[in-house]
Protein backbone atom coordinates (compact mmCIF):
# COMPACT_ATOMS: atom_id res chain seq x y z
CA UNK A 1 0.00 0.00 0.00
CA UNK A 2 1.10 3.50 -0.87
CA UNK A 3 0.51 6.58 1.25
CA UNK A 4 0.95 10.26 0.52
CA UNK A 5 2.96 12.10 3.19
CA UNK A 6 3.80 15.78 2.83
CA UNK A 7 4.62 15.80 -0.86
CA UNK A 8 5.88 12.23 -1.22
CA UNK A 9 4.33 8.90 -2.11
CA UNK A 10 5.78 6.26 0.18
CA UNK A 11 5.09 2.70 1.24
CA UNK A 12 2.60 2.66 4.14
CA UNK A 13 5.30 1.02 6.32
CA UNK A 14 7.72 3.92 5.89
CA UNK A 15 8.27 5.86 9.11
CA UNK A 16 7.26 9.25 7.82
CA UNK A 17 5.74 11.39 10.58
CA UNK A 18 7.93 13.47 12.88
CA UNK A 19 7.94 12.70 16.60
CA UNK A 20 7.08 16.32 17.25
CA UNK A 21 4.19 16.36 14.83
CA UNK A 22 1.38 17.95 16.82
CA UNK A 23 -1.02 15.32 15.57
CA UNK A 24 1.06 12.72 17.36
CA UNK A 25 1.77 14.84 20.44
CA UNK A 26 -1.62 16.45 20.99
CA UNK A 27 -4.13 14.92 18.61
CA UNK A 28 -3.97 18.46 17.20
CA UNK A 29 -5.37 17.67 13.82
CA UNK A 30 -8.44 16.78 11.87
CA UNK A 31 -9.32 14.03 9.45
CA UNK A 32 -11.73 13.14 6.73
CA UNK A 33 -12.83 9.82 5.29
CA UNK A 34 -14.48 9.31 1.98
CA UNK A 35 -15.13 6.32 -0.20
CA UNK A 36 -14.48 5.30 -3.76
CA UNK A 37 -17.04 2.95 -5.29
CA UNK A 38 -16.13 1.27 -8.56
CA UNK A 39 -13.57 3.95 -9.24
CA UNK A 40 -15.83 6.88 -8.43
CA UNK A 41 -15.22 9.23 -5.48
CA UNK A 42 -18.54 9.60 -3.62
CA UNK A 43 -19.68 12.97 -2.28
CA UNK A 44 -16.18 14.36 -2.65
CA UNK A 45 -17.30 17.99 -2.62
CA UNK A 46 -19.21 17.46 0.62
CA UNK A 47 -16.20 15.81 2.20
CA UNK A 48 -13.93 18.65 1.14
CA UNK A 49 -16.50 21.16 2.45
CA UNK A 50 -16.45 19.47 5.85
CA UNK A 51 -12.66 19.30 5.77
CA UNK A 52 -12.54 23.06 5.21
CA UNK A 53 -15.03 23.64 8.02
CA UNK A 54 -12.99 21.47 10.40
CA UNK A 55 -9.77 23.28 9.48
CA UNK A 56 -11.45 26.62 9.86
CA UNK A 57 -12.78 25.74 13.31
CA UNK A 58 -9.25 24.76 14.34
CA UNK A 59 -7.67 27.90 12.94
CA UNK A 60 -5.67 25.84 10.47
CA UNK A 61 -5.07 26.65 6.79
CA UNK A 62 -5.74 24.19 3.98
CA UNK A 63 -2.54 22.19 3.39
CA UNK A 64 -2.94 22.93 -0.33
CA UNK A 65 -5.68 24.13 -2.65
CA UNK A 66 -8.88 22.16 -2.79
CA UNK A 67 -8.16 21.16 -6.35
CA UNK A 68 -4.62 19.99 -5.53
CA UNK A 69 -5.97 18.05 -2.56
CA UNK A 70 -8.50 16.25 -4.75
CA UNK A 71 -5.68 15.39 -7.17
CA UNK A 72 -3.50 14.00 -4.37
CA UNK A 73 -6.42 11.90 -3.14
CA UNK A 74 -7.01 10.56 -6.64
CA UNK A 75 -3.33 9.86 -7.23
CA UNK A 76 -2.98 8.05 -3.88
CA UNK A 77 -6.05 6.01 -4.72
CA UNK A 78 -4.74 5.25 -8.23
CA UNK A 79 -1.39 4.02 -6.90
CA UNK A 80 -3.20 1.53 -4.66
CA UNK A 81 -5.24 0.00 -7.47
CA UNK A 82 -8.38 -0.65 -5.41
CA UNK A 83 -11.65 0.04 -7.21
CA UNK A 84 -13.66 0.02 -3.95
CA UNK A 85 -11.62 1.99 -1.43
CA UNK A 86 -11.72 4.10 1.68
CA UNK A 87 -9.61 7.25 1.49
CA UNK A 88 -8.32 8.52 4.83
CA UNK A 89 -6.97 12.03 4.95
CA UNK A 90 -5.37 13.56 8.02
CA UNK A 91 -4.16 17.09 8.48
CA UNK A 92 -2.22 17.97 11.63
CA UNK A 93 -1.23 21.46 12.63
CA UNK A 94 2.37 20.60 11.81
CA UNK A 95 5.68 19.96 13.53
CA UNK A 96 7.17 22.16 16.24
CA UNK A 97 8.95 21.71 19.59
CA UNK A 98 6.35 20.36 22.03
CA UNK A 99 4.48 23.24 23.57
CA UNK A 100 0.73 23.48 24.07
CA UNK A 101 0.50 26.88 22.40
CA UNK A 102 1.48 27.12 18.75
CA UNK A 103 2.99 29.73 16.49
CA UNK A 104 1.18 31.73 13.86
CA UNK A 105 2.93 30.32 10.80
CA UNK A 106 2.69 26.57 11.21
CA UNK A 107 2.79 24.52 8.06
CA UNK A 108 0.13 21.78 8.25
CA UNK A 109 1.16 18.20 7.71
CA UNK A 110 -0.91 16.07 5.32
CA UNK A 111 -1.18 12.29 5.17
CA UNK A 112 -3.44 10.40 2.79
CA UNK A 113 -3.90 6.64 2.97
CA UNK A 114 -6.08 4.22 1.08
CA UNK A 115 -7.49 0.87 2.12
CA UNK A 116 -9.87 -1.64 0.60
CA UNK A 117 -13.48 -0.82 1.42
CA UNK A 118 -15.43 -3.38 3.39
CA UNK A 119 -19.03 -2.29 3.15
CA UNK A 120 -21.80 -4.18 5.02
CA UNK A 121 -22.68 -7.49 3.40
CA UNK A 122 -25.98 -8.04 1.69
CA UNK A 123 -27.05 -10.23 4.63
CA UNK A 124 -26.19 -7.48 7.13
CA UNK A 125 -28.04 -4.88 5.15
CA UNK A 126 -30.98 -7.26 4.91
CA UNK A 127 -31.01 -8.34 8.56
CA UNK A 128 -29.85 -5.23 10.37
CA UNK A 129 -27.51 -5.05 13.39
CA UNK A 130 -27.75 -4.56 17.17
CA UNK A 131 -26.42 -1.62 19.16
CA UNK A 132 -25.82 -1.02 22.87
CA UNK A 133 -26.33 2.24 24.77
CA UNK A 134 -23.64 4.08 26.76
CA UNK A 135 -23.35 7.53 28.30
CA UNK A 136 -21.64 9.95 25.92
CA UNK A 137 -18.28 10.25 27.65
CA UNK A 138 -16.31 11.92 24.93
CA UNK A 139 -13.99 14.58 26.42
CA UNK A 140 -15.36 13.62 29.82
CA UNK A 141 -12.39 11.69 31.19
CA UNK A 142 -10.03 14.42 32.24
CA UNK A 143 -8.56 12.20 34.99
CA UNK A 144 -6.81 10.18 32.29
CA UNK A 145 -3.53 11.77 31.25
CA UNK A 146 -4.46 11.31 27.63
CA UNK A 147 -2.61 12.75 24.66
CA UNK A 148 -6.00 13.82 23.32
CA UNK A 149 -5.32 17.41 24.30
CA UNK A 150 -7.10 19.40 21.64
CA UNK A 151 -9.38 21.36 24.02
CA UNK A 152 -6.39 21.97 26.28
CA UNK A 153 -4.17 23.32 23.54
CA UNK A 154 -6.92 25.55 22.18
CA UNK A 155 -7.47 26.95 25.70
CA UNK A 156 -3.73 27.46 26.21
CA UNK A 157 -3.51 29.24 22.90
CA UNK A 158 -6.28 31.64 23.90
CA UNK A 159 -4.52 32.29 27.19
CA UNK A 160 -1.26 33.03 25.36
CA UNK A 161 -3.11 35.35 23.00
CA UNK A 162 -4.49 37.22 25.99
CA UNK A 163 -0.98 37.53 27.40
CA UNK A 164 -1.72 35.04 30.17
CA UNK A 165 0.10 31.95 31.38
CA UNK A 166 -2.86 29.65 31.75
CA UNK A 167 -6.60 29.27 31.18
CA UNK A 168 -8.80 28.16 34.05
CA UNK A 169 -11.57 26.01 32.71
CA UNK A 170 -15.16 26.18 33.92
CA UNK A 171 -17.78 23.47 34.22
CA UNK A 172 -21.43 24.04 33.32
CA UNK A 173 -22.10 25.55 36.75
CA UNK A 174 -19.36 28.13 36.28
CA UNK A 175 -17.04 26.35 38.67
CA UNK A 176 -13.33 26.03 37.97
CA UNK A 177 -12.23 22.50 37.14
CA UNK A 178 -8.52 23.03 36.50
CA UNK A 179 -6.10 24.77 34.17
CA UNK A 180 -5.37 23.56 30.66
CA UNK A 181 -2.16 21.95 31.96
CA UNK A 182 -2.19 22.57 35.72
CA UNK A 183 -4.40 22.35 38.79
CA UNK A 184 -6.18 25.41 40.18
CA UNK A 185 -6.23 26.64 43.77
CA UNK A 186 -7.49 29.52 45.86
CA UNK A 187 -7.03 30.60 49.45
CA UNK A 188 -10.39 31.54 51.01
CA UNK A 189 -11.19 34.29 53.54
CA UNK A 190 -10.30 31.97 56.41
CA UNK A 191 -6.89 31.16 54.96
CA UNK A 192 -7.94 27.69 53.88
CA UNK A 193 -6.62 26.11 50.69
CA UNK A 194 -9.40 25.23 48.27
CA UNK A 195 -8.99 22.98 45.24
CA UNK A 196 -11.30 20.81 43.21
CA UNK A 197 -11.71 17.27 44.55
CA UNK A 198 -10.37 14.36 42.54
CA UNK A 199 -12.82 13.08 39.96
CA UNK A 200 -13.08 12.70 36.25
CA UNK A 201 -13.30 16.49 35.83
CA UNK A 202 -9.62 17.01 36.62
CA UNK A 203 -6.27 15.35 36.21
CA UNK A 204 -5.05 14.29 39.63
CA UNK A 205 -1.84 16.32 39.64
CA UNK A 206 1.21 14.84 41.33
CA UNK A 207 2.05 18.37 42.42
CA UNK A 208 -1.50 18.74 43.75
CA UNK A 209 -1.11 15.70 45.97
CA UNK A 210 2.35 16.79 47.20
CA UNK A 211 1.07 20.31 47.97
CA UNK A 212 -1.92 18.95 49.91
CA UNK A 213 0.44 16.91 52.07
CA UNK A 214 2.86 19.78 52.59
CA UNK A 215 0.03 22.15 53.51
CA UNK A 216 -1.49 19.78 56.05
CA UNK A 217 1.90 19.11 57.60
CA UNK A 218 2.39 22.86 57.91
CA UNK A 219 -0.97 23.29 59.66
CA UNK A 220 -2.73 24.84 56.66
CA UNK A 221 -6.29 23.58 56.32
CA UNK A 222 -7.15 22.06 52.91
CA UNK A 223 -10.70 21.86 51.61
CA UNK A 224 -11.25 19.81 48.48
CA UNK A 225 -14.35 21.34 46.92
CA UNK A 226 -15.31 23.07 43.72
CA UNK A 227 -15.08 26.87 43.68
CA UNK A 228 -16.69 29.31 41.28
CA UNK A 229 -14.94 31.82 39.06
CA UNK A 230 -16.48 34.65 41.12
CA UNK A 231 -15.07 33.12 44.27
CA UNK A 232 -11.66 32.87 42.65
CA UNK A 233 -11.70 36.51 41.57
CA UNK A 234 -12.64 37.54 45.10
CA UNK A 235 -10.22 35.13 46.78
CA UNK A 236 -7.47 36.16 49.14
CA UNK A 237 -4.92 34.29 47.00
CA UNK A 238 -4.84 32.05 43.96
CA UNK A 239 -2.21 29.82 42.44
CA UNK A 240 -1.69 26.93 40.07
CA UNK A 241 0.41 23.80 40.31
CA UNK A 242 2.10 21.38 37.94
CA UNK A 243 5.29 19.37 37.73
CA UNK A 244 6.93 22.01 35.56
CA UNK A 245 5.11 25.19 36.70
CA UNK A 246 5.70 24.32 40.39
CA UNK A 247 3.55 26.40 42.80
CA UNK A 248 2.92 29.46 40.68
CA UNK A 249 1.01 32.47 42.07
CA UNK A 250 -1.99 33.60 40.04
CA UNK A 251 -2.30 37.35 40.45
CA UNK A 252 -4.99 38.17 37.87
CA UNK A 253 -8.05 36.34 36.54
CA UNK A 254 -9.71 37.69 33.40
CA UNK A 255 -7.86 40.93 34.04
CA UNK A 256 -9.15 41.25 37.61
CA UNK A 257 -6.30 41.40 40.14
CA UNK A 258 -6.51 38.74 42.84
CA UNK A 259 -6.47 40.69 46.13
CA UNK A 260 -3.76 43.37 45.72
CA UNK A 261 -2.36 41.71 42.59
CA UNK A 262 0.69 40.31 44.36
CA UNK A 263 1.44 36.73 45.41
CA UNK A 264 -0.07 36.02 48.84
CA UNK A 265 1.68 34.72 51.94
CA UNK A 266 0.11 31.23 51.91
CA UNK A 267 1.09 30.77 48.28
CA UNK A 268 4.62 31.93 48.96
CA UNK A 269 4.89 29.60 51.93
CA UNK A 270 3.68 26.64 49.85
CA UNK A 271 5.99 27.52 46.97
CA UNK A 272 8.87 27.52 49.44
CA UNK A 273 7.84 24.21 51.03
CA UNK A 274 7.39 22.68 47.61
CA UNK A 275 10.75 23.87 46.31
CA UNK A 276 12.36 22.44 49.41
CA UNK A 277 10.54 19.12 49.12
CA UNK A 278 11.58 18.78 45.48
CA UNK A 279 15.19 19.70 46.17
CA UNK A 280 14.88 23.03 44.33
CA UNK A 281 15.24 25.39 47.23
CA UNK A 282 17.82 28.09 46.83
CA UNK A 283 19.99 28.74 49.88
CA UNK A 284 18.40 31.83 51.39
Q: What are phi and psi of 248, to 5 degrees?
A: -115, 120
* 206 binds ligand PMP per the rule CB under 6 A: yes
How do beta strands 256-257 and 176-179 pair? unpaired
Residues 194 and 206 sit within 8 Å (Cβ to Cβ): no
182 binds ligand PMP (CB under 6 A): yes
Of these, 63, 94, 108, 205, which contacts ligand PMP (CB under 6 A)? 205
Catalytic residue from among 145, 156, 161, 216: 145
When asked if residue 113 is in the footprint of ligand PMP (CB under 6 A), the reply is no
| 267 sits near ligand PMP (criterion: CB under 6 A) | no
Q: Is 264 in the site for ligand PMP (CB under 6 A)?
A: no
Specify which residues 3 forms β-bridges with.
10
Contact segment (CB under 6 A) with ligand PMP among 51-59, 90-98, 185-193, 238-246 equals 238-246
- Residue 5: strand pairing partners: 8, 111
Taking residue 13's Cβ as centre, other Cβ atoms within 10 Å add up to: 8
CB of 181 to ligand PMP, least distance (A): 4
Confirm if 185 and 195 have CB atoms less than 8 A apart. Answer: yes
If one asks whether residue 177 binds ligand PMP (CB under 6 A), the answer comes out as: no
Using only C-alpha atoms, what is the Rg of the chain?
Answer: 24
Instruction: Using alpha carbons, select from 181, 226, 236 the residue that is nearest to residue 203.
Output: 181
Look up 127 and say whether it is catalytic: no
**Which span (7-15, 68-76, 179-187, 230-238) binds ligand PMP, by CB under 6 A?**
179-187
Asked if 146 interacts with ligand PMP (CB under 6 A), we say: no
CA distance 212 to 273: 11
32 binds ligand PMP (CB under 6 A): no
- Name the site residues for ligand PMP (rule: CB under 6 A): 152, 178, 181-183, 203, 205-208, 241-243
Residues annotated catalytic, as ranges: 145
Amino acid sequence: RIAYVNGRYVSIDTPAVAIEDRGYQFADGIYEVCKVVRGRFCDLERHLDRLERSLDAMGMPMPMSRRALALVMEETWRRNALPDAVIYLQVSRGTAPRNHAFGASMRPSLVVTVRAAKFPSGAELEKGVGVISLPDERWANCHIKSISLLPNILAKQQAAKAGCREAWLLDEQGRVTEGSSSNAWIVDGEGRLVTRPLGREILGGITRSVVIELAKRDGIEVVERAFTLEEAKAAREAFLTSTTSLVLPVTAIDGTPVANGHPGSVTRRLAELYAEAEGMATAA
